Structures are given as C-alpha cells and as structure tokens.
C-alpha cells in the first residue's frame, strides 16, 4: 500500500541519507486523548488505561502515515508550513493499522471485553481509533518495537517499508538536483534521470522514486537546477 510521511526538510534529508524514519513514542503523540477513546468516567478504567499506556510506551512506538500527499492542511501542520518534505512509501499491508474516526467514546462494556486482549492486541485496538476531527489525516499506523525509553528510536527502510517517492513543499528551497545528488551519493550506479514537467525520477536498484511539487492546486514553481 502506498502511504506518505510528512516531515521537516532537515529531517527528510536525514531520513533519506540514513534510510530510516524516527519512531514516535505514544507519550509524544500530538493528540492528548490518544489511547483513551473508551468511556473513562469510571476511576478503575482510568487507572487501567493509564497503566497500560505506560507499559505500551516502554515497549512500542509507531510511524504515522497518511493515504494522501496532496492535503494542504497536512503540509501546513506536519510539513513545516509547506517548507518541508513528504516521503512516499510502499508499506506491507499486513503490518498496518487503518485509523477509524469516531464521534463518541466506546462503552465501559467494550472496555471490559478488551481487558482479555494481550498488550500488543490491546495496543492495536487503542491506536486504531481517533476522534473524527482528525479524519483529514486519513492515517495509517505502523507499530514497531521500541524498548529504549530515553534515546531516539529509528526504524530502517526495508522491503516492507520501501521508499518510492520524495516530494517537496511549495515553499521549499530544495532543488531537484540536490535530491538527485543525495540519491546518487547513496547509490552511485544511478543512471536514469528524466524531466517530465513537474516530475523528475531517479531509478536504480536501491531507489525508485519521484521528486515532485505536490498538490496541483498550488501555484506551480519553476524547476531549479534540473538536468
């Protein structure tokens, strides 16, 4: 499945260079109501959810991806106000959680039933729902082991998380030539470069990607430094 990850320019270039993505910790997610979409009017449910979230945060992290690259709101929120980048990946479907957007909390009865789940299963259930106000993100999530609790955690690119697209924001000062140069340093055998309007592709054994100006509703930017 093809999905997208927005990030600042410096983090995007580092991700391409190091061929890995930073893993988000559950405690660092920007929605403070993550993991508590159950009815928490009961003190016991509050305590149980708090403890399970603490344990999950110690053992797991996640990579947040979107089904869309052309949403200007996401570029504004996660792409450094359109100055950043968006990386496209081919992701193995079996590893993904598709987020469901809901308008109310689940009942206490459903909460009690969920207590029979193992921690990983409970985690998948909890991270599969967000309130409907977030539905513009069209989010999919990849849960990864993250045993360290203090250092930054990274997840490497692989066949199940394969980089295939690089996109730059409407306010980015990056050039296609600079992206191509970075890719060629990582894979010197790169030999195929093509200019197709707003699209420039590099194809070789390690990389198969396109650098484009996203969202055709944006005012087109002139290509800079292209071959």
The pLDDT of 85-105, averaged and rounded, is 87
pLDDT greater at residue 198 or residue 9 = 9
Confidence category of residue 200, pLDDT binned at 50, 70, 90: very low
CB 183 within 8 A of CB 210: no
pLDDT digits (tens, 9 = 90+) for 5-57: 999 999 999 999 899 999 988 888 877 777 677 767 777 777 888 888 888 88
Residue 109 phi/psi, 5-degree rounding, is -60, -45
Predicted confidence at residue 142, as pLDDT, reads 92
Asked if the model's pLDDT at residue 204 lies above 90, the reply is no
Annotated domain spans of the chain: 2-212
pLDDT over 70 at 192, yes or no: no
60-92 tens-digit pLDDT: 889 999 999 888 999 999 999 999 999 999 998
Average per-residue pLDDT for the chain: 76
pLDDT digits (tens, 9 = 90+) for 31-45: 777 767 776 777 777
SS (H, E, C) the chain: CEEEEEECHHHHHHHHHHCEEECEEHHHCCCCCCCCCECCCCHHHHHHHHHHHHHHHHHEEEEEEECCCCCHHHHHHHCCCCCCEEEEEEECHHHEEECEEECCCECHHHHHHHCCCCHHHHHHHHCCEEEHHHHHHCEEEEEEECCCCCCCCEEECECCEEEEEEEECCCCCCCHHHHHHHHHHHCCCCCEEEEECCEEEEECCCCEEEEECCCCCCCCCCCCCCC
Percent of the chain with pLDDT over 70: 78
Burial level of 186, CB count in 10 A (0-12/13-18/19+)? middle
Q: How confident is the model at residue 103 (pLDDT cuts 50, 70, 90)?
A: confident
Looking at residue 81, its pLDDT comes to 92
Does the structure show a pLDDT above 80 at 183? no
Is the pLDDT at 147 greater than 60, yes or no? yes
Average pLDDT for residues 96-118, to the nearest whole number? 80
């Amino acid at each position: 499945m093809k999905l997208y990850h927005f990030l600042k320019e410096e983090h995007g270039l580092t991700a391409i260079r190091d061929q890995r993505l930073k893993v988000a910790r559950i405690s660092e997610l920007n929605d403070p109501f993550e993991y508590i979409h159950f009815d928490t009017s009961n003190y016991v449910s509050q305590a149980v959810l708090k403890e399970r979230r603490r344990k999950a945060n110690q053992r797991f992290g996640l990579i947040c991806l979107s089904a869309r690259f052309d949403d200007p709101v996401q570029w504004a929120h996660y792409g450094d106000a359109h100055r950043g980048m968006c990386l496209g990946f081919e992701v193995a479907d079996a590893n993904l959680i598709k987020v469901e957007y809901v308008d109310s909390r689940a009942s206490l009865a459903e909460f009690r039933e969920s207590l029979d789940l193992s921690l990983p299963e409970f985690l998948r259930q909890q991270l599969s729902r967000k309130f409907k106000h977030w539905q513009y993100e069209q989010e999919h999530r990849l849960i990864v082991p993250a045993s360290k609790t203090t250092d930054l955690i990274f997840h490497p690119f692989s066949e199940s998380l394969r980089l295939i697209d690089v996109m730059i924001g409407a306010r980015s000062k990056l050039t296609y030539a600079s992206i191509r140069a970075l890719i060629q340093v990582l894979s010197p055998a790169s030999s195929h470069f093509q200019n197709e309007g707003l699209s420039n592709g590099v194809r070789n054994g390690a990389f198969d990607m396109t650098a484009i100006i996203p969202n055709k509703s944006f005012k087109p930017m002139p290509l800079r430094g292209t071959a």
